[in-house]
Every structure is written in C-alpha cells, then in structure tokens.
Amino acid sequence: MKMSNRRNLALLGIVAVMLASTLAFLYLKSNSNETSTYAESRDLIGRIKQLNAQWETEILKARIATNHNYDPLVTPLTGMAELWERFDTLESNHGRNDSPIWRASHDAYLTAIQEKTRLVEQFKSHNAVLRNSLAFLPTAEDDIHEQLARLVDGDKLQLQNIATDTYDLLLSSLEFAQVTSDDRAADILVGLNKLGVNKLRLPEQFHSPIDILSNHISLILREQPVVNRLLENIEAVPVAERLDEITSLLNTDQQQTDAIEQRYHFYMLVFSVLLVLLLVYLAIHLMRSFTTISRVNKALKTANDELELRVEERTRELKDTQSELLDTARQAGMAEIATNVLHNVGNVLNSVNISADLVSRKLRASKAQGLGKAMQLINEHPGDLGTFLTQDDKGKLLPGYLNQLVEAIALEQQSMTDELAQLSKSVDHIKDIVATQQSYAGANSLMEPLHISELLEDALRMNAGALTRHHVTVVKEYGEVPQVMGDKHRLLLILINLISNAKYAMSDLSNRPRQMTLGVKIVDNETLQVSVKDDGEGIAAENMTRIFAHGFTTRKEGHGFGLHSCALAAIEMNGHLTAHSDGPGKGAQFTLQIPLKPVTEVA
Amino acid sequence: MSPSIHHLLLVPLFGFCLSASAAPLDEPLKPLPPVPQQNPLRVELGRQLFNEPRLSVNNTLSCASCHRLDKGGADTQAFSIGFNGVPVTINTPSVFNATLNFRQFWNGRADTLETQIHAVVQSPSEMGSDWEYVVQTLSADPAYHSAFGKAYPDGVTMNNVQNALATYERTLLSSNSRFDQYLLGDTDILTLEEKYGYQRFKDYGCIACHQGVNIGGNMFQKFGVMGDYFKVRGNPTDTDLGRYLVTKDEEDRNVFKVPSLRNVAVTAPYFHDGSAKTLEEAVDVMFRFQLGRVPSIEDKTLIIQFLKTLTGEWGGKPL
C-alpha cells in the first residue's frame, strides 16, 4: 500500500515535470530573443547605411570645396567600423557565421568597404592637390598678367597675344575641371605648348611664374581625370547593395523565425487548451473525490461512535470485574484475619486443652482415693473404733495417714485451682480474640477516633501466637501521637498484613535474633506515618515495582492479594503505602502514610 | 588678387571676429577635443607601462625613451636609437595627439593605437621583444600583477597591456594652444601677424592637406606632388617608398600620412627622414615639392609665426 502510494507520487511528479517542461519549451521556442537581435542587427545595418550615405555626401562636398576639412571623410568610416564590429559580435554570438550564405555576404561587404576605403583615401590625396591647383590658377595667371602689364618695352601685340593665350589656357583648364573630355585635354596640351613657346619669347623674370602656372595646369590635366575616375569607382563600389543584401538576409531569417514562432505559438495554444481541459477534468475528479471522502468520513464517524460505545461498555465491565476482585481481595483479607483469629484461638485452645488434661490427670491421680481406704478401715471397726485407733497396729497409723492426706489434698486442690484459673484465663483470651474480631468484621469505612498505638497493640495481639511461636522480638518506637480520626478496619487490615509479612520474611532467619520494629510518628505536622521494619529476607530490586501488584507473591501458599489490598486500602484513605529494601537479605521497611486528622479538628 | 587687397579685405573681417565675442569659429581647422572619460586605473597603468623599459627585450627602451613628453612627444634626433643601439630608419612622430590621427605610423599601416603598440614592441629595430615574453615579465612583477588584476578582469594579457597603453595615449592631448583658444573664440589671443600667417596658410594651400582637428593626420599624400623630392635629396631608402610598402600599389609610391602640425615648432627635425632641421627648411620643402609655389619672404615668416601658435600645453606648461 505504502509502496504503491510512493510510486504513484513519483509518477505524478514525473508527469507534472514533463508537462511543465513541455510548456517551458514551447514558451521559449515561441518567445526566442532572436527577434530583439534581429531588430538590433537591422538597426546596426541601417545605421551603417546612413553613415555610408553621409560619407558619400561628404565626398561629393569635398569634390567642390577648396578649403575643406577632411575629418568628416574619416569619422563615418570609424563609426561604420565600430557598428560593424558590434553587428559581427551580435551575429557570431548567434552562430550565424556558420552559414555559408552569411559568411559570403559578410565577406562581400568587407571587401566592398575595404575597396571603397582605398579609393576614398586616394580620392582625398588627389582631390586635395587638384582643388589646391584649381584654386591657385587665377592667382597664378594674375601674377603673369601683372608682370605683363608692367612690361613697358616690347611688342604690344605679341604681349597681347601671350596674355590672351594664357587666359585661354586658364579658361580651358577651368572648363576641363567642369567637363572633362579628351578634346579639352588636347586643347590644354596645345595651350601648354603655346605657353612654353611664349615663355621663351618673354624675359627671364617671366620664366618662374609661367613654369608654376604650367606645372599646376599639368597637374590639373593629370589629376582631374584621376579624381573623376576615383569618384566613379567609389560610386560603383556596392557597399549599400551589400548592406541591403545583409538586411534582406536578416529579413528572410526573421520571417522564417516568425513562422517558426507562430507555429510554436499555435502549439502552445493547443497545449494550453489541453492543459485547461486536464485541469477541468481533475477539478471534477477532485470534487467527486471530496464527495466520496465526506461519505467515507461519515461512515467512519459512525463506526467510531459505535466503537466508543463498545469501549465504554468494556470499561464498565472491567470496572465491575475490578470491584468484584476488590471484594474478593477484601474477603481474602477478612479470611486472613479469620485465619489469624482461628489460629490464635487454636493456640489458646491448646492451652485450655493442656489445662483440662492436667486437671483431669490430677483428678485421676488424686490422693482423695486414700481417704476412701481410710474410711473403709474406719467403717470395719464401727464399735471398737477407739480401740482400733489405739490398739490395732493398723488403726494406730490411720490418724497420721489422714493428716498426711489432708496436706496432700490441700496441695492438689491448690494446683487444680491454679490450673483452672489458667483455663478460665485462656477462655477469656479466646473471648477477647473473638470479641476483637467481631468488633472489626463487617465494619465499613468508618471514621472514628482512635489511638494508633492501641490499634498496633490489637494487631500485635492478633498475631501474638505466631510471633511467640516464631520467637520474634517486637521493638516499639512510638512517637507522641494524639488521638486521630481513622478508618479502624482498613488500618488494622494493613497493620495485620504488614506484621504478618514481616513475620514471614523472617521465618527463614536462623543466624540472628528475629527483630521487628514498629514505628509511629508525625511527619510535617500533617501526615501520620506508621512503619513496619523487619531484618528478614528483604526485597530484590526487580520485585520492588511489582510488589504491590495484584497477584504478586513470593510465598508458596500466598495468594498475592495482601499487599495489593493494603495499597488499595491506603489509597482509599487518601494515603499511600511504600516499600523500601536495601536488597535481598537486608531486610525491608513498609511505610504507611495517611493524612493526619487529629480528633480536635473534627470536634 | 594683390596682397594689399587681401589686407583691405581682412581688416573688417577681423573687426567682425572681435565683435563676435567668444563664439567658436567655423574654420577648416578644429580645436582639440577634451580628454575622453576613461578608467583612471587603466590610465595610470598605461602611464607606468609607457615608462617601462622591460617592454624592450634587453630592458633598455621604454615608449618614453623615444616619445619624450618633455620634447614634444618625440625626441630631437632624425632617427631614434633602437634597443640594439642601431638607429631606426624613420623619424619618430610625436605621441601627443596621436589618437587623433586617422592611421598610425608614417605609412599608416596601423589602424589603431593598439596595433601600433603591438608592432613597435615586436619590431626588430625598435624594442625587439615579443609579447609572450612581455606578458611573462609583467605577470612576474607583483605590482603589475595586482594593478592589472584591479583594472582588468582577466589580469595581465597582451590585449590588456596594449589597451592600457592606448588608454593612456588617448589622454596625451596637448590642449590649450593659443590657436585653439583662438578657434574657441578668443580672437584677441593671436597677434595680427599670426592671424595673417593663418590667412597665408590657407591662401597658399597648406590647408589642402593640413586641416581638421589635428591639422593634418587625416589623409595620405604623395611626398613630391610638384617635383621629385627624393631625386633632389638623394640616397633613396626603403622607407622612402612610404605606403607602397603596405599596399604594393604603384599609386602609393612615396605616399605618406600627412603629419599633424600641432606642436610643430617643438618637434624638429621634420619629415619621415628627419631631413629638415628647422621649421624654415621644412616650410621651404613644402612650398617647393608640395605646393609648387614660391612664397614671399614675408609670407613665409608669417606662416611660421602662425605655426608657432599651434604649440599646446602638457602638465600645465607649454611644450
């Protein structure tokens, strides 16, 4: 029963754990944090795209400005690198780098951004010098013009032509910067050649400014196509496209995850419905169980009541039995008293018998018969009595004989009187014993004033024969005790029993005098204590607890009621009876303690 | 446009600037940002490591041996001496404001300060050590062991040593230069000559490359746009190839990172080869080979005067 219970409990636990883990599994599956990662990833990619666009704007601005700060062309890249690193960590934490498609798109982006960075770096270098030269061109041309204007001597027309050529070259170069074409490049080359020729026509001080101008124009001719090509290439680098690819990959993944999540949501819904049904079923079941339990409870209660009734009945029967037993014990106690009385009466009767025998024997051997013979002699000599008494030999002896006979008869009479006095005394003793017995027999719990010492004497007297026969010396240690109110019958029962027990305990004692000590004293002014002490066989420790039990005895002929009834009697008097022994062979002391009720209190 | 016209135009412009009280100026040059908020434990650890000779294989060189904070963040030699007593092949750039450079090293081969540190410690001509050895040495030192334990959850590692150094270097900003104060709106701080110098700096096109917050350090440029510098100088070396060494792209031959002009007055000698001993020489080279122009003596002097306003402070004192 217990085993199957435990197994059921374990089974229930396993089922509960399984259900809970299924629910948890479905919940986790339908609520993965993938979504938040996707949101963050998409956000990161979006921001990278923004920075990329910002970067491109800055590149276009750098293309037209002269005094430009190139920091804005650096910072977006730093930002993009940081964002990418975060994105990469985020994604690799999800193990997405394992997927070849992801790997490819990542690599494609990195390649693109690397290429774009390289191109932008080149663009910055080339654009800086190009913008610088373009900005400088008008000043450089101005320098030449100023000097030309200051030139006073020489061919005015030629100077004018040189000035026009230089100006044309300047314009062509500026146009070239706007619309770069091979035609214009050819124009510029022609212009540069003309400038070279013109330089030779001009004085020495023109050589340096013209060289500077032609150097810068050459630079523009060289750098402008490079810058244009770089810009085209930069535009062609598909960074944004790669980012879009990654976004679409993210979206695809997100959709897949969404679909899976939805599926698991559905599963969870179904599972939840099943669980609810199960719960409803269990609730119904539970309610039914409750009904059953209350029914069973009611039945149990009825059964219990019945049982209680039966127990009560049995208890009553037991009580009856106990009181019967108590009666028996009392009767047994009375029987004991009767035995004692009869025993004592028997003892006294023995004395009576002896006395009677003695008297009868004395009578049989009485000297009175000699008187008869003397009278016969006298009767044979009626006439001559005087003669006979004086003459006859026989007659002469007769008066002496008679005197002697008188003396003997007087002695006989005296002894017989004595013996008869003893006899009557014994009869009186018997009367006494019987009277004492009569005074106790049948007496109920009757409180009467009594002297405890007298009661002890009575008890001793009832045991006197046996005590004398067993040569027991009684030592009396009576304290000052007033007349008390007590149950004479119960006290005497206890005392007789205790004295009798003490006597029996010492019956096997041969090596030392048998001594019994009776004690009476008042303890704490409220308890009367009577003790009976012997130096007999003592009580074994293991018997100490059983000694007052009903039916316990160590004597062959004992019935085990004595001490039990004594203890009961003591309790009936609101007192108690205790035993003490130092062990086998060391004697025992029984102590009766009852509440002290002096007579004055009652009066 | 003649210089006199420039002057006429500039006078009312400056007047406007003066009246505009302390509003920051919108210029192609930008003031230094404030020092970023960083873990002070890591900064202090980085400072110790910066002065730690045990980073080099024979305990002779620390970062501070070549990047002397009292010498503008570099040393005064064309080529610093490596751990083995042999000079390195390139001029030591200043550590001040290095965090603001878009790449590290003259040829920009390092994207971050950490990468730069990684390379220098292992460089066979600079510190000649290796990271395993460095980490081992530092781990064995109880002071470092506990300092790293407090600053980093994983204690002494290569990444943490590099991060501590980079963290410290991010605090090495030479703030409060007179020009920065000018940019922040205190236009009275510059003399008229210095303001003219700045104007010339822009007019001649120096600003084409030296601009932004670090006044350079944000782009690559060919050394010798308007003439072959190396041919004129002679004795071409490997390091003269510049970025070509990194990319192997013909396009990048003799291309270098444009250096920052901050503290330029106190960081002679100049250029990757340390060939210009004075600021005048350097300005001359720039005009000839980069700008392809011939400045007047007066303009050059003005520009140099302007350049001297770019010297910032460190530890409350001018560099």
> Is the pLDDT score of A437 beyond 70?
no
Check CB contact of A135 with chain B, cutoff 8 Å.
yes
What type of residue is A96? R
Do residues B26 and B45 share a domain?
no
Q: Could you give the number of structural domains in chain B? A: 2
Do residues B158 and B220 share a domain?
no
Nearest residue on chain A to B206, judged by CA atoms?
A: A132
Buried b (16+ CB within 10 A) or exposed e, A267-292: ebeebeeeeeeeeeeeeeeeeeeeee
Q: Which of B135, B169, B203 is the last residue of a domain?
A: B169
Q: Note the pLDDT tens digit of each residue in A294-349.
A: 999 999 999 999 999 999 999 999 889 888 887 777 677 667 667 767 777 777 77
Residue B123's domain is classified under what CATH number? 1.10.760.10
Residue A34's pLDDT is: 63
Let me know if residue B276 belongs to a domain: yes
Strongest mean pLDDT among A33-42, A278-287, A426-435, A551-560 = A278-287
Do residues B76 and B137 share a domain?
yes
Cα dist from A307 to A302, A312, A320, B79, whole Å: 9, 8, 20, 115
From the candidates A82, A120, A121, A131, which should be mutated to test the interface with B, based on the most B CB atoms within 10 A? Answer: A121
Do residues B314 and B209 share a domain?
yes
Do residues B185 and B306 share a domain?
yes
Let me know if residue B291 belongs to a domain: yes
Q: Which of B152, B169, B186 is the last residue of a domain?
A: B169
Do residues B67 and B18 share a domain?
no
- What kind and span of H or E run contains A82? helix A75-93
Residue ranges of B 167-226 with Cβ closer than 8 A to chain A: 202, 205, 207-209, 211-213, 218-222, 225-226
What's the ipTM? 0.88
Smallest Cβ–Cβ distance between B208 and the set A73, A131, A219 belongs to A131
Beta-carbon separation of B218 and A67 below 8 A: no
Residue A358's pLDDT is: 83
Let me know if residue B149 belongs to a domain: yes
Nearest residue on chain A to B210, judged by CA atoms?
A: A69
Check CB contact of A229 with chain B, cutoff 8 Å.
no
Do residues B57 and B124 share a domain?
yes
pLDDT band at A443 (very low <50, low <70, confident <90, very high): very low
Stretch A238-246: mean pLDDT: 91
More confident residue, A29 or A108: A108
Let me know if residue B284 belongs to a domain: yes
Q: Note the pLDDT tens digit of each residue in A59-77.
A: 988 887 755 789 999 999 9
Do residues B135 and B191 share a domain?
no
Let me know if residue B35 belongs to a domain: no
**Residue positions of B annotated with a catalytic role:** 126
Residue ranges of A 168-227 with Cβ closer than 8 A to chain B: 208, 212, 215-216, 219
Residue A68, min C-alpha distance to chain B (Å): 6
Do residues B126 and B185 share a domain?
no
Q: Work out how many CB contacts closer than 8 A connect A with B.
A: 71
Let me know if residue B260 belongs to a domain: yes
Q: Note the pLDDT tens digit of each residue in A495-545.
A: 888 888 888 888 777 777 888 898 998 888 888 899 998 888 888 888 887
Do residues B218 and B95 share a domain?
no
Smallest Cβ–Cβ distance between B219 and the set A125, A131, A208 belongs to A125
Query: Tokens 């607890």 belong to which residue?
Result: A545
Cα dist from A159 to A166, A205, A336, B84, whole Å: 11, 15, 178, 65
> Is the pLDDT score of B1 beyond 70?
no
Do residues B235 and B281 share a domain?
yes
Q: Note the pLDDT tens digit of each residue in B166-193.
A: 999 999 999 999 999 999 999 999 999 9
Q: Which of B111, B140, B169 is the last residue of a domain?
A: B169
**Enclosing domain of residue B78:** 40-169
The DSSP string of A352-420 is HHHHHHHHHHHHHT-THHHHHHHHHHHHH-SSSHHHHHHTSHHHHHHHHHHHHHHHHHHHHHHHHHHHH
Residue B106's pLDDT is: 96
Do residues B314 and B180 share a domain?
yes
Mean of the per-residue pLDDT values for chain A? 84
Q: Note the pLDDT tens digit of each residue in A373-406.
A: 888 888 888 777 778 888 888 778 888 888 888 8
User: What six digits make up the tokens of B48?
Assistant: 């110790």
Check CB contact of B109 with chain A, cutoff 8 Å.
no
